[in-house]
Amino acid sequence: MWIDRLTGDVLRVLPDIVESGRYLDKIGSPGQRVKTGTDSILVDRGSRICVVKDSHIEFELPPKDMAQKVALFERIIETIDIRSDYSSKLISPLMPEGIVNEDCHLNSFEEKLIEVISVGHLHQISKRPRLDLYYEDEVTDVARAKRLAKGALVHLASHSECWQRQTLSGVIPKRVKARFSEDDYNTYENRVYARLLDKTEHYLSWRVGTLYQLNMTVSEALEFYKETNRHHRLSQEICRLWGQTFSQESTSQVSEQLSETLKRLEKLLEVVKALKQQGLYVLVSRTEQVAGGLHMTNILSHDQHYRHLPILWKKLKGVVGGKLITPEERQLRNEALNMAYSRYTGLVLHHALLPYMKQQFIAEWAGAHLELRQDGFDWSLALTSPDKKEMRVLLKVIPWLGLVSRPEEIKPKAPFTLIAWPNLNEDLENSDEAPTDGCWVPLSPFDLYVVERLGRVIDQILHRELVSDYGQPLQKIPTKSLEHINGLEGLAISEQYHEIRILEELQPETLSKVKEALLNENAAQQAKQLEHLNHKINQLQICPVCSSKTKLVPQQSNGFRISCDSCKTKTYFQRLPKAMEYMQELEGFVDFKKVGRRGFVVNI
């Protein structure tokens, strides 16, 4: 039995093609608990076909042209995960400084390669290679023969079909056994040269792609320091997160260093590609490989040009590593990466919930308790009543380390469920225009808006919770209670229907009088509801942008407006004919790209 993490469906048979990390192994019959350790998740072993439970399963793997980006993403996720374990503070979910500093400088192989190419050793090998003579004996026409092979006379004497004619003095040959010589470029040293070019091109292509991705992210962060089209509060928050790893000055320095290194490596890559299109490389068989370690021949040891090949070979091996990972090790790493991405999603959630929970897992909010929970790989945000008798899940986030294209027509069973995935292939276009795409939310250290995305979703859900019952009447209010509370500020009373509505925050003494009047008439349930609604209005009056205390002003048709003098945030709530609408704007803007989570519209 298998559980589809994205939809919640239980499957007896897996589909023909499986996405890594999507399915959980369900042990036993329906109703039994699902394993929550990393060994319960179905991941690939680095190959397309794997054997699972005596069955062959075909996995969908990332395209080869994404291998570099995938490897960089995995390094970053592992680095953030390790830093989270050793840090008591909430670390930044953006790209760590160590990754950039590690890659922005030339390493020993690249420096040596620049030196060898600048002197011209590789070009000299390409133009004037060492070669061997290859000798081959062949029976051919006399006109083609330039040198007789050993045993040519014996061969001629025993093969009369090779005679032209026979005379008194001897035989005039028509065909003879001749020796031909050809230049042999396929020597061991030349194979080392050709395979070194292959490995160098692959490595430089990988490095250039990595540096390009790093440089693009750093340049985007640098633009935020100079950006004028985005609201300054959004820029400040993103720069604050980025500043936990980089300052503005170090960002500028790293950007310059990355650009310089990228430029030099791109030039190296062009030179290597040019060497592969001419000279010696095209004369060496591409099927001939250099197995094992290098064998130091006299030419590789003493030739003024060839002797640099073993040095480059050794340095390149030291940079890329020579040990191949086994399928079992790849499986364990993929399982660990899925759990690391789950913890990364939790880190982003903690950042998004900072205005409400202050880095805690449980916090008081609007008279109730917000609780952030982790269940296996998934996360949920729950609201618990003060007496802890009622609990509702407000949001569920399913982290899926999907390194391939998103599956189509995914509809999670649970409401308010988001699927977090890295979006490495940029499946979501214009991702800075909207925080989510249906049930999908991109979460990646490459994305500077990563906290803003979940932050906006959480703000919308919590404000939906606050305003959904604003202005709703409390019914079955006793007559004597109505008489005692009549005329109190902040209440709308209907004696005809025995109802009251709370339209603005009640002062403590007013709230106390109303509760006492209700409790004296055994209306404990109404008193509890009244206090709960008052907590919600109190929470609404805390500015979601700057946390200043504001004032809710009731409007017609059970609506309201709130204006913050400190940050110019305005919120409006109105009841439409068939729905309710809550809007929050920052200085007149609700555009996600411009203000992030600070502006939005919620239709209820």
Per residue in 304-314, pLDDT (tens digit) is 999 999 999 99
What's residue 429's pLDDT? 61
Q: Give the torsion sign (CA, 309, 314, 315, 321).
A: positive
Residue 72: name the closest of 47, 102, 52, 92 by CA: 102
Which secondary-structure segment (H or E) carries 357? helix 354-357
Is residue 394 within 8 Å of 416, Cβ to Cβ? yes
Q: Which residue has the higher pLDDT, 473 or 29?
A: 473
User: Would you state the pLDDT for residue 164?
Assistant: 84
Give the whole-angstrom CA distance, residue 534 versus residue 91: 36
- pLDDT band, residue 387 (cuts 50/70/90): confident
**Average confidence (pLDDT) over 48-57:** 86
What pLDDT does residue 568 have? 93
Q: What is the dihedral of CA 445, 243, 463, 364, to 10 degrees?
A: 110
* Confidence band of 222 (pLDDT split at 50, 70, 90): confident
260: left (phi over 0), alpha (psi -120 to 50) or beta: alpha
Residue 277 predicted with pLDDT over 90: yes
Q: pLDDT class for 427, splitting at 50, 70, 90?
A: low
Segment of 146-155, 210-219, 240-249 carrying the highest mean pLDDT: 210-219
| CA atoms of 104 and 565, how far apart (whole Å) | 45
- Helices (DSSP H) in 380-523: which residue ranges? 450-467, 479-485, 508-520
Q: Is pLDDT at 33 greater than 50 in this prediction?
A: no
Half-sphere exposure of 390 (CA within 13 A, CB side): 5
Res 55: pLDDT: 84
Inter-residue contact 441 to 431 (CB < 8 Å): no
Q: Output the six-digit token pair for 298.
A: 């006299």
What integer pLDDT is reported at residue 430 of this predicted model? Answer: 61
**Listed range (20-29, 124-133, 337-346, 394-403) with the worst mean pLDDT:** 20-29
pLDDT at 224 (0 to 100): 80
pLDDT of residue 182: 67
Nearest residue to 477 via CA among 500, 447, 496: 500
Q: Evaluate if residue 34 carries a pLDDT over 80.
A: no
- Give the pLDDT confidence score for residue 181 in this predicted structure: 62
Residue 203 CA to residue 209 CA, distance in Å, equals 10
Beta-sheet pairing, 10-11 with 2-4: antiparallel
Of all residues in the chain, what percent carry a pLDDT higher than 90? 60
Please give the structure tokens belonging to residue 362: 């449980």
**What pLDDT, on the 0 to 100 scale, is given for residue 72?**
94
CA-derived radius of gyration, the chain: 37
292 has pLDDT over 80 = no
> Band of the pLDDT at 29, cuts 50, 70, 90?
very low
Q: What is the pLDDT of residue 30?
A: 40
Mean pLDDT throughout 20-25?
A: 92
Q: How far apart are CA 259 and CA 105, in angstroms?
A: 10
pLDDT at 141: 87
The whole-angstrom separation of Cα 117 and Cα 275 is 11
**% the chain with pLDDT above 70:** 96
Q: Identify the band that residue 134 occupies on the pLDDT scale cut at 50, 70 and 90.
A: low
Q: Name which residue leads in pLDDT, 147 or 308.
A: 308
Separation of alpha carbons 294 and 287, rounded Å: 17
pLDDT class of 206 with cuts at 50, 70, 90: very high
Q: Give the pLDDT of residue 24.
A: 92
Q: What is the pLDDT of residue 28?
A: 44
pLDDT digits (tens, 9 = 90+) for 406-421: 888 888 888 899 999 9
Q: What is the pLDDT of residue 101?
A: 87
